[in-house]
Each structure stands twice: as structure tokens, then as C-alpha cells.
A and B are shown apart, each in its own frame.
Chain A
């Protein structure tokens, strides 16, 4: 096959799974970015947690990779993978492009996803991945995956870059911050009714300190976690918070919890929730996934509309 022919001389060099990948045969002058990961699982699992839209923005920065996914319903998910997580990371020029997330995920999982027979969680794999990207945007994104001497080359077309929402999360104006251990919090969320429209989040200084309420049909489900619970690492609350968020967002949180070790929830004065997940994959440097959610704004919209109509009348 032609694919193997071009890399023929390189396959002889490969002994076992952990070996460095071969360089592509054509010239590398205009290569903007090369990154190598020991296990494709690292990247695949992180991308899976923010896979709630079709497209994602890929940014290669000096500090690492940032991937941004947005859902038009006002949620943004960002994934940061530090350079130290990578086996090797070479950046000539900062790049930013849009790509189809599902395609990249399928490529990363091209050798299959082995599952743990007991927990049904994906196991770490021996699939090494190498990402290449040329400066010129007409060139596709190149992914090379290798498992035990079998190499797959994936060429993925990239799309034009788009603007992303700036949530303007006021880090200096954070009203409350709670840090949880993820496995305990996962247990707390396990029975919450995800068929309800909204989930109310109440954080107060009095007991119960942290409460989630889901109002379904025929009744409601609620979860209380007090400050002294071993699940809660940190609890800071300057003002009581009582907001509503779409249930869908909590589904994303649950998804990310499965690979995270810690979760931090921060809410600013505007009610925007920032959920950050600390994920340890390979190496000691953690990766970070964060979500920004806006609160359910039904009541606020009504107020805004009345204000706008007043302005029109005055002008007339």
C-alpha cells in the first residue's frame, strides 16, 4: 500500500510501542507545530468531555494546546493541555483553526477503545499519537497513530477560524468558590433527575451549604452537601447564591467528572458559573477542562424587553 511504502524505511526502526514516531518524508520547513503524545487516550478522553458541539477551535500556544468548544446555548468548554504533558512539543508559530471534533475523536480512537471489564471505563492504551500542522491553512491537520508497529495516517481538513464568546468571567469578583473531590461529587450527582428542565443551585453560608435541586414532573430531587463533608475540599461564600442553570450543563459536568480528580465551581457576581476540572493523565502535570455557563435568564429577559420598549416611546 502506498501509505506504508512512503514510511517503509521508518517502520524497520520501530521496535515497540513507546518508541518515537517517524518524521514525515516531505520537507518540514513550513511546519508550524508538532506534538507527540505517548497515549492517544490522554487527548481523546479530554476531547470527549468537551464534545458537545460539532466543531472546535484548536489553538497551539507556547504554553500548550487549548481547545475551545461552544454551544450556541451559551456554554463554552475549554481544554488546556500543558506542554509538559506531551512527549515532545515543538511550536514554530502560533496557530488557531477550527476543526470537526467528531472526526478527530474517531481518528484518535481508530484502534478501538478497550474498556475495563468491571467499571466499563476506557483503559489507557499504547497508541502513540503525533500531531502535525503546517502553517498554510490549506494543508490538512495530520495525525499519525501507531500501535505495535501499525501506523495510521489521518489527514483532516481544517475550517476557518471563528470568534469565540468571551464570558468575561470576573475572577476578581467571585462570589463563591467550592472545590470538590470528583468521585464523591459524582456519587452525589448520580441520582439527580436529569429530565428536569433546570437545576437550581443554592450555596449559602448556613446549613445546607451546597444544594442542587432538580424539579421533575411529579416531584423533585435534591442533593445537600455540607461544609464538613469529606467530599468538599474548599468552601468560600461571600454572598448566598441561588441560581438556575440548564440541566444539560450538569450533564457535561457529570461527563467530565469521570476522568477528573478535582472539581472547582466558581460563581461570579453576574451568576456565571465556571466549573474547572483537574485531570491527571500521563506525567505529573495535570490538564484542565473548564466550562462557563450562564444562568437561566428567563426572568432577566422580560425586564430587558420592557426597558427597550420604554426607550422607543421616548424617542417618538
Chain B
């Protein structure tokens, strides 16, 4: 890379938003991936947690910044990662001082990212950290393919879940057309497969609490509470409508928001716990076969299903015996033509496979990007055993340029 300096300047009114959102990201992962991309016209900050069961991405658009590096830089973009800890201390400084100006300077020559804080009294503080050039962090998911979509103000959601004790690992959402229930996971499974039922409480919401309520498929999903609470920390700053996309167990839940007047948006993808072996999804109905639930599939479907996993992910770990639904990674790519074919609510696995196969042979998305796949979260014990399948960051052979 040449000796280029990319300078981003934030006006004082956006500094707090920047600081708060970055603070949430520093809690959700160990490293923050930064990317300046011309096609999205935004500076994005992404992170994923260590076990790769959550992915977060916040993109700040051009208008968020007062000054932006010149657009004629076509070839040289920013693609790097920094330590979340260093970022946390810089962000802490940003949030605790009254700033007149905040500059982000990416210095290629020294591989240094500096946060230059112009405080009052003509004091200038500089926090700098080293960055490492790397490939983009990208999760594969398709927002359009989800059957359930609800929108709720983030502050409302925060209030609903505020009293859930932090020591609970997981939280369950059970959604039907008439009710939206947030509760604790019903069972705790121990090593010896014994099941313990403990005290529970739940919050029952009616559809009219929501700005938008569209449930096509009765869901019962469980995901990590701790990260969910970090995410809701953003609600302290901005009360925005947040959209939740989810459907069956094992498929990740997506939280996304778009702060249009502040020129940034965010998307958070959390893995959900899949069914244990042999178990059927309780809210599953016969008319809607889910690709995750292998027990209801016939022989042909089973074969196609396996093929499906091979083709889309290249992850065929044949011979590894495990509960099949849990190992299925989230499949779909973000290609637009995929969306058109999937518009029908009933998903026939065979039909889906055809579509996906087509995708793979003709087009490739995100060439040259490192992708990782947001996977279903195992039961606590299963997580350790399945690590080699789940946490897969496929390093790319750098086909780019």
C-alpha cells in the first residue's frame, strides 16, 4: 500500500453516536474489522465473537462524516482489523470528554489508526493503535428469506427484557400470530442427558406493541442473552425501530436498524440453538417442511439435503456423526436472484436446492472475501465438540484483483 492517509472527521453532534455504537461493538467481539467500501459508500465496523456465534456490523454513511477521504481512491481501500481492547480505551476517551472535533486517521505507512480528539481548552488527545490488514469479515445470510419479521422500538424491547437477570445464559422467544412471548429457556440439559426444570417467568406481548408484526411461522428460538443485552445498550442512545427476523430453531436471528437521520445502520446476527437429535420443532407444522428438520424429510429429500450442504458451503465433513440439524450452516447467499425464487412461504427443499445450485455455478458473491458462516448454537456441551465444524473462517485465496 502506498503512503496514504485516510482522514475521517466527525462533527461534534455525531461523536456520541459513534462512540456509543463502537462501545457496543467492543463488547461483542475481540477484534473489530474496519472496511471502507466504495460500493456501499460507507465506513463499516464489524465484529464477531470468539465462538463465531454472533456477528455485528455497523455502517456509517458518507453523510455521517464532516470530511471524508477523496473519492478518487479506487484501488486502495481500507480493510483492516484492530484490537477491541485498544478501541475500547479510545472510545472511552471519546465518550467521557466534550469534543469539538474527532478525527480518525488511518496511516498506511505506519499501519496506525489514530483517534484524534480535539477537546475543550485547546487540548488535543491522540489515541492510536496498530491495525493489521486483512480480508473482510462477512457473514452469509439472507434477510429476505426469513418468514417472520417484527419491528419494535428498541427502547420498548430494552424495557421488556431489562429485568431478565444477566446470569441467565439464554433467552427464548416464542412467537405466534397472536402472541410474542419472551422467556427463559425451558430446560437445562446436563451432561448425563438429565433434564432440569427450573423457575421461569415470561413477558407476553401482543402484536399491537409492535410497529410491524408479520409472523408466518410459529417460532420458538433461543439465543444468548448477554450479547442481546449489549446490543440493547444502543437503545439508551437512540430509540429506533428495530427489526427482528427469525424463523426456525437453528436459523440465526437478525436484528437490524436504520438510523436514517443519523446516517448509520446496523445489523446483528445471533445464532440460535438448534434442536437436539431426533427432536422435532414443537411449533412445526406438516405443511411447511423445514430444511433443518431432517426427521420429517423423506429419503430423496435427505439426499438432496446433503448435496445442498456440500454445494453451498464446501464444508462436507463426512463421517462426523452429529445431530444433523445442528450442523447445518446458514446457507443462503445475498444474491438478489435468490430472493425472487424464495418468495413463496412454503419451502420445498428440492426446489431450494435447485435454486442454490444455480447460484453457485453461475455467480459468485463477494469474491476475495473471507466468509464465515453463522451457525446454529449447540447445547452447552455440544459446543465444544463441534468447534471444528462451526467456527470456520475460510481464508480466501485472494482472487481479488
- With A191-B93, A224-B126 in contact, do A218 and B83 touch (Cβ < 8 Å)? yes
A115 touches B (CB below 8 Å):
no
Alpha-carbon distance between A219 and B129 when the two chains are bound, in angstroms: 4
B130 close to A222 (CB less than 8 A): no
Alpha-carbon distance between A193 and B86 when the two chains are bound, in angstroms: 10
Alpha-carbon distance between A210 and B344 when the two chains are bound, in angstroms: 67
B122 close to A187 (CB less than 8 A): no
A229 close to B86 (CB less than 8 A): no
A221 close to B130 (CB less than 8 A): no
Q: A188-B123, A219-B127, A230-B122 known; 5 other A-B pairs, CB under 8 Å? A: A184-B123, A187-B119, A223-B125, A224-B125, A226-B122
State which residues 171-196 of A face B: CB under 8 Å.
184, 187-188, 190-191, 193
B70 touches A (CB below 8 Å):
no
A278 touches B (CB below 8 Å):
no
- Interface residue tally on A, bucketed by range: 20 to 34
The chain B residue sitting closest to A228, CB to CB, is B122
B127 close to A184 (CB less than 8 A): no
B89 close to A191 (CB less than 8 A): yes
State which residues 106-139 of B face A: CB under 8 Å.
112, 119-130
A188 close to B125 (CB less than 8 A): yes
Tell me, rounded to whole Å, the shortest Cβ–Cβ distance linking A17 to chain B.
Answer: 38
A229 close to B122 (CB less than 8 A): yes
A270 touches B (CB below 8 Å):
no
CB within 8 A of A229: which of B85, B123, B127? B123
14 A–B pairs (Cβ distance < 8 Å), ordered by A: A184-B123, A187-B97, A187-B119, A188-B123, A191-B92, A221-B89, A221-B125, A224-B126, A225-B121, A226-B122, A229-B122, A229-B123, A230-B122, A231-B121
Tell me, rounded to whole Å, the shortest Cβ–Cβ distance linking B174 to chain A.
Answer: 43
B96 touches A (CB below 8 Å):
yes
A155 touches B (CB below 8 Å):
no
B93 close to A225 (CB less than 8 A): no
Number of A-B contacts (CB under 8 A): 68
Give chain A's interface residues, CB within 8 Å of chain B.
184, 187-188, 190-191, 193, 208, 218-226, 228-231
The chain A residue sitting closest to B92, CB to CB, is A191
A218 close to B125 (CB less than 8 A): no
Alpha-carbon distance between A265 and B255 when the two chains are bound, in angstroms: 53
CB within 8 A of A222: which of B85, B112, B126, B129? B126
Tell me, rounded to whole Å, the shortest Cβ–Cβ distance linking A293 to chain B.
Answer: 22
B128 close to A191 (CB less than 8 A): no
B83 contact set on A, CB distance < 8 A = 218
Alpha-carbon distance between A223 and B93 when the two chains are bound, in angstroms: 12
The chain A residue sitting closest to B122, CB to CB, is A229
- With A187-B97, A190-B96, A191-B92 in contact, do A225 and B128 touch (Cβ < 8 Å)? no
State the 3 A-B residue pairs at the shortest beta-carbon distance, nearest first. A219-B129, A229-B122, A191-B93
A231 close to B123 (CB less than 8 A): yes
B121 close to A222 (CB less than 8 A): no
Alpha-carbon distance between A221 and B92 when the two chains are bound, in angstroms: 13
- With A187-B97, A191-B93 in contact, do A221 and B121 touch (Cβ < 8 Å)? no
Tell me, rounded to whole Å, the shortest Cβ–Cβ distance linking A134 to chain B.
Answer: 50
